[in-house]
Structure 1
Amino acid sequence: MSTPFIKNNQYNVIKKQSKHLLHTLRTVADRRVLETVRHDCTMKIVEAFSSLTPEQQQRLESISLLETADDFSSYLSELEAYLEPYPTITPKQIEKLFPKSKKLKVPDLQSIDFRFITYLGWMDISTNRLFVVYPFEGQFVGLEGRLTPTHKKGYCLFCNRHHELAFFLVKTKPAVASPDNVAAVGQYICMDNQTCNQSITNTEALEKFIRSVRNER
């Protein structure tokens, strides 16, 4: 039985470094350069983890021995057995995160491969609202806000990759409570959250955004 230890964002780091190393192998002949890139890619993968057992580290570092596209494909496929899925969540739990959304349309959880998501996101097309659920500091946090397409490409706050963007505006509690005092936090993120989940390699920006919405430092 394989013990999961790789989160989705860490797997994305592995995919990114695998792609870079394979490209280098195909385009660079200098062995010294190749060995440098092998070492750098391996280190970036290992550094994506705060702790590893010797066996886990050895499994990840085997990327340094790969040569062909088939080798890399097998490497990534084998690591899928060690993916740590998104924490189990039920429709009832999701509904409780958005008490003001009386007609909340919960996504079909059965159709989602939870191994490959860092955050759960879905769009209510009828209201142009994006819902995000993220396991944060031992509990689920829900974000709800208006998503406005920009029809432009740029760098997403969450995944830091160049994709089609939308402006995500989330209302938050103002510093001074008042019926007329409304605060909001907005950032540019991927229009397609599935693409974002396939690209995100670090959760710091996402968690910083959540703290800003919750008025935490």
Structure 2
Amino acid sequence: MRQIVLDTETTGLEPTLGHRIIEVAAVELVNRRLTGNHFHRYLNPEREIDEGAQQVHGLTLDFLADKPRFADIVEEFLAFIRDAELIIHNAPFDVGFLNHELALLGLEPLERYCVGVVDTLRMARDMHPGQKNNLDALCKRYGVDNSNRTLHGALLDAELLAEVYLALTRGQDSLMIELNAPAACPDALQAWASDAPLIVLHATEDELAAHEALLAELDKESKGACLWRAASAT
């Protein structure tokens, strides 16, 4: 499966107020692996940048003055994302801006060029209700190094989001990983095949206490819907 992890930076928050895209980036995943192929362009918005937005991404009109316009790169951009599944954090925001840019050029909406859009913000909220689920928080939660992210940047953010997405969905391919994995411990497999006695390691009191504390936290976050605790009570 071909997937494209995408991010944009803009002049402001509302395309309906005339705000425009000033940076777009996309990185390619094929069969859940980064290929190294990416698309990245800075764009001249032909309008002022809101001060609040500039504080987020640090891009200025002086820097963007000699950059291409969206119309100049649209064919290349659409060719890069065509027939792929798009992965976007807070997808309605980026899709809204991209559709606005496409509409200004008389082109069809983004959804007509790709096979679907995955919103990782919605996914993270479903998996971690009541917690912070912005990109920085998810990087911290899943051990993704974001130490270079002092400002928002579309290419860096797309690369970080790709790693976060793979962490968020790691369980989806766990069986496939096991099926494809080489036999790393042939001696252990031989012992198992020869009916060697099974060694059982029991949890210590500290480990049991830590496990119970984790279940209590999960039960609290899920409002009493912790499946593990419910199963152990039956």
Normalising by structure 2, we get a TM-score of 0.25
- Relative to total residues, which structure has the larger strand share, 1 or 2? 1
Larger radius of gyration: 2
- Relative to total residues, which structure has the larger helix share, 1 or 2? 2
Normalising by structure 1, we get a TM-score of 0.26
